[in-house]
Structure 1
C-alpha cells in the first residue's frame, strides 16, 4: 500500500525536491502546506498517513503545529542535526525526527513502524 504524505515546510524549493524524491520511492505526496493553518486544513481534508513538519516555519514553531495535528502521525524534519532537537522531539506529539538530508521513503516507513508498534 502506498503511503500518503503531507509536507509542511515554508521552503518551496525543498518541498519540490522532497516531493519528487518521495514519489520515486513509493510515497504519495497528497498535499503541501507552508503554514500551520494550511497544514490543519489539508490534514483534515486529505487524511494523510503521515505529516512531515519542518521544525521552523517562519514565525511558527513546527512543534506547535505537530501538537495541533492530533489525528496524523508527525515526523519532524530540519536541516539541523537530530541532537539539536532530541529533547523537544521526545516531549512533542511527533513520532520521530529526520534530518532533511536523510529524508527517504524507507526512513519514514521505519519511523512509522516503530510508532505503530508502541
Structure 2
C-alpha cells in the first residue's frame, strides 16, 4: 500500500472542472474553510500540466469534463503526478458511479452539493486542520 504523508500547513488543492462558475464557487468555499486552492483547470491537458507544476496535496476532478472523462484523468494523474491524492466530484449520485469509482485510483468521491473542506479532509484522513497539523497518512488508491 502506498502511503502519502501530508506536509504541515494548509492543504493545497487543484480543482478540475469544465464549469467556471462551479470552480469559482468551490474555490471560494474551500478557501473560506481553510484549504488553499492553488489553481483550477478545465480540461485534461491543463489539469496534468497544473498538477505537475503546482504539486497540490489533493486534486478534485469532475467525472464529466465536457468530452473528456474525469475517470481517465484520474488514471493519468495517478500515473504522472503521484503522490497527489485525487478525489472525484460530480452532480451525479455516488451510487450511480459506484462501480467506476471503486476501480479508479481516486481516494474517494464527494458530491458537488456536499463539497466542503471537512469532506475533503475526511477522505484524506487529515482531520479538521484547525490545529495547523496535517501529518496524516493517506492510503493509496482504492481498488488496487
Determine whether 1:96 maps to 2:123: no
Q: 1:31-70 alignment to 2 at 5 Å?
A: 31-70=39-78
1:116 aligns with 2:138: yes
CA drift of 1:80 comes to 1.0
- SS of the counterpart of 1:93? coil
TM-score (norm 2): 0.79
Find the residue that maps to 1:45 and give its secondary structure: helix
Task: Give unmatched runs, 5+ long, in structure 1.
Answer: none
TM-score (norm 1): 0.96
The answer (yes or no) to whether the contact 2:18–2:66 under 8 Å persists in 1 is yes
If asked which structure has higher relative contact order (CA below 8 Å, sep 6+), I would say 2
Cα deviation for residue 27 of structure 1 reads: 0.5
Structure 2 vs 1, CA of residues 75 and 82 (structure 1 numbering), >3 Å: closer, same or farther? Answer: same
Query: Matches of 1:5 and 1:117 in 2, distance apart?
Result: 17
Query: What is residue 88 of structure 2 aligned with on the other side?
Result: 76
**What's the secondary structure of 2:125's corresponding residue?**
helix
Residue 30 (str. 1) matches residue 42 (str. 2): no
Give unmatched runs, 5+ long, in structure 2: 1-8, 127-136
Question: 4+ residue stretches of structure 1 with deviation over 4 A?
Answer: none
Structure with greater proportional helix content: 1
Deviation at 1:117, TM superposition (A): 4.8
SS at match of 2:106: coil
Greater Cα radius of gyration, structure 1 or 2: 2
